[in-house]
């Protein structure tokens, strides 16, 4: 498939029933009739097929309510798995989840660095195979691979930023590279693509981090800054995957020129790369933060994590730079909250995994002046899995295509789509 995750919705009776079972945990056939509005014969047919496909299992009986005790159904969590890959300059993170979205394995490997995309893709295929073999899961149980990336993912062009500037500097050689198709060929599995911030939001939604909020966002900080939005339980991607570019919200019209071409972007003024550059411009601060001289082998994320550790040790220069960055990020976050009437904002991504203790109170403070404060507060939290949220979200892209009706997620694999068509026809 290798399409972007913004493809057209696909509904099927099978995914409606699967999603109802997932949401309920355990449910009887009668419960499914109530939850889905399908007729008893349709539910009976669909459940039989789901059991035959090993996706659903019968699990004991409901408590008797006088009549016959009802058989309960639940997802067969170990029947299918999804691979999530978060591809970034400094690190590539992998997650393997079961059908219920529980992470069963995760690994981190060196990032893409300056290597050629084709070389990195071959390595990713090898590392995916190692991840799957390490858990001992049969390959036919793998639904597919979700790959997420720091940048917009656009259907006809593969991956790439604005045509005049392309992707962020650290990933420039990937501009226009057909990542989905290339990985599908070497890994032999269906691949879907999305951007890392949107995937982080999906991962948060999938693992319950947004609670019941109608308007929620993930503020993602890795090498750059981005945001993913989940509105009424649906991941919002915009028409071209260019949604949530929070790093390019301007907080100063006269500010410095950003790599994107605009002025005063929060990423240019106070993103992780700006913090690292400020520390590196000061030899004493560089030494105090323990940054390697020259920085040839380091990445922005690794340097930023070292600066965060120095701040926690009480290094005043490191702490002051992080606090300044957090005020700028909080200012941009307030803009996002005011535009989207946010109820929940989750701070996530590897740079916030490192520096969350500095950013959380400051971003919270900035959001106390959100315009919605007369009606509700904006609940600002740190993600429970900030370092791996995007990889988990990448796997959730695949699960979403299998489980969620009216999928706002990626296009399902061709064989799954055919299977769904057959099911829908025979069930209706
Ligand atoms: Zn910019």
Q: Are residues 63 and 140 in the same domain?
A: no
Asked if residue 149 belongs to a domain, the reply is yes
The predicted-structure confidence for 26-55, as pLDDT tens digits, reads as follows: 999 999 999 999 999 999 999 999 999 999
Asked if residue 231 belongs to a domain, the reply is yes
Q: Are residues 373 and 237 in the same domain?
A: yes
The predicted-structure confidence for 206-228, as pLDDT tens digits, reads as follows: 888 898 899 999 999 998 999 99
Asked if residue 139 belongs to a domain, the reply is yes
Q: Are residues 350 and 370 in the same domain?
A: yes
Using the mean position of ligand 1's atoms as its centre, give its distance from the Cα of residue 292 in Å.
28
What's residue 16's pLDDT? 84
Rounded Cα distance, 356 and 388, in Å: 14
Using the mean position of ligand 1's atoms as its centre, give its distance from the Cα of residue 37 in Å.
48
Cα three-residue angle 247-298-291, rounded to 5 degrees: 95
Asked if residue 167 belongs to a domain, the reply is yes
Asked if residue 353 belongs to a domain, the reply is yes
Task: Give whole-number Cα distances, 406 to 209, 381, 391, 401, in Å.
Answer: 22, 29, 23, 9
What's residue 43's pLDDT? 96
Q: Are residues 294 and 421 in the same domain?
A: no
What's residue 427's pLDDT? 43
Asked if 21 and 73 touch (Cβ cutoff 8 Å), the reply is: yes
Q: Are residues 248 and 368 in the same domain?
A: yes
Q: Are residues 226 and 336 in the same domain?
A: yes
Q: Are residues 88 and 49 in the same domain?
A: no
Using the mean position of ligand 1's atoms as its centre, give its distance from the Cα of residue 255 in Å.
11
Residues of the chain with pLDDT below 50 are 2-10, 155, 406-428
Using the mean position of ligand 1's atoms as its centre, give its distance from the Cα of residue 85 in Å.
26
Asked if 36 and 43 touch (Cβ cutoff 8 Å), the reply is: yes
Structure tokens at 39: 């007729």
Using the mean position of ligand 1's atoms as its centre, give its distance from the Cα of residue 368 in Å.
26
What's residue 216's pLDDT? 97
Which residues hold their Cβ within 5 A of ligand 1, which is an ion? Answer: 248, 258, 260, 262, 265
Using the mean position of ligand 1's atoms as its centre, give its distance from the Cα of residue 194 in Å.
20
Q: Are residues 187 and 265 in the same domain?
A: no
What's residue 282's pLDDT? 92
Structure tokens at 311: 């701040």
Q: Are residues 84 and 67 in the same domain?
A: no
What's residue 5's pLDDT? 44
Find the domain containing 26 and state its range: 13-78+415-427
What's residue 206's pLDDT? 81
Asked if 350 and 386 touch (Cβ cutoff 8 Å), the reply is: yes
Using the mean position of ligand 1's atoms as its centre, give its distance from the Cα of residue 142 in Å.
38
Domain count, the chain: 3
Using the mean position of ligand 1's atoms as its centre, give its distance from the Cα of residue 302 in Å.
22
Using the mean position of ligand 1's atoms as its centre, give its distance from the Cα of residue 252 in Å.
11
């Amino acid at each position: 498939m290798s399409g972007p995750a913004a493809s057209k919705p696909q509904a099927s009776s099978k995914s409606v029933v699967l999603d109802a079972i997932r949401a309920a945990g355990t449910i009887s056939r009668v419960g499914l009739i109530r939850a889905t509005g399908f007729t008893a014969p349709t539910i009976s047919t669909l459940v039989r097929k789901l059991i035959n496909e090993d996706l659903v299992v019968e699990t004991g009986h409901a408590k008797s309510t006088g009549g016959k005790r009802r058989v309960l159904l639940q997802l067969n969590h170990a029947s299918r798995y999804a691979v999530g890959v978060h591809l970034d300059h400094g690190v590539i993170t992998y997650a393997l989840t079961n059908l219920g979205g529980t992470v069963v394995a995760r690994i981190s490997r060196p990032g893409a660095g300056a290597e050629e995309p084709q070389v990195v893709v071959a390595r990713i295929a090898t590392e995916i195979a190692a991840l799957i073999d390490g858990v001992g899961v049969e390959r036919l149980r793998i639904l597919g691979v979700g790959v997420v990336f720091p940048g917009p993912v656009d259907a006809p062009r593969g991956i790439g930023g604005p045509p005049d500037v392309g992707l962020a500097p650290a990933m420039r050689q990937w501009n226009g590279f057909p990542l989905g198709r290339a990985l599908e060929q070497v890994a032999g599995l269906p691949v879907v693509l999305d951007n890392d911030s949107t995937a982080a939001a999906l991962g948060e939604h999938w693992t319950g981090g947004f609670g019941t909020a109608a308007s929620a966002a993930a503020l993602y900080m890795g090498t750059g800054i981005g945001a993913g939005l989940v509105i009424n339980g649906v991941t919002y991607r915009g028409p071209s995957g260019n949604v949530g570019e929070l790093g390019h919200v301007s907080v100063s019209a006269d500010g410095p020129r950003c790599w994107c071409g605009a002025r005063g972007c929060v990423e240019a003024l106070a993103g992780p790369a700006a913090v690292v550059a400020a520390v590196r411009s000061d030899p004493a601060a560089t030494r105090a933060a323990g940054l390697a001289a020259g920085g040839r082998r380091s990445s922005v994320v690794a340097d930023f994590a070292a600066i965060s550790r120095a701040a926690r040790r009480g290094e005043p220069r490191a702490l002051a730079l992080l606090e300044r960055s957090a005020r700028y990020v909080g200012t941009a976050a307030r803009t996002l909250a005011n535009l989207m009437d946010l109820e929940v904002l989750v701070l996530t991504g590897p740079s916030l995994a490192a520096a969350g203790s500095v950013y959380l109170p400051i971003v919270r403070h900035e959001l106390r002046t959100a315009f919605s404060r007369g009606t509700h507060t904006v609940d600002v939290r740190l993600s429970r899995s900030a370092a791996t949220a995007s990889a988990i979200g990448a796997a959730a892209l695949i699960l979403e295509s299998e489980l969620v009706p009216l999928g706002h997620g990626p296009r399902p694999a061709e064989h799954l789509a055919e299977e769904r068509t057959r099911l829908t026809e025979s069930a209706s």
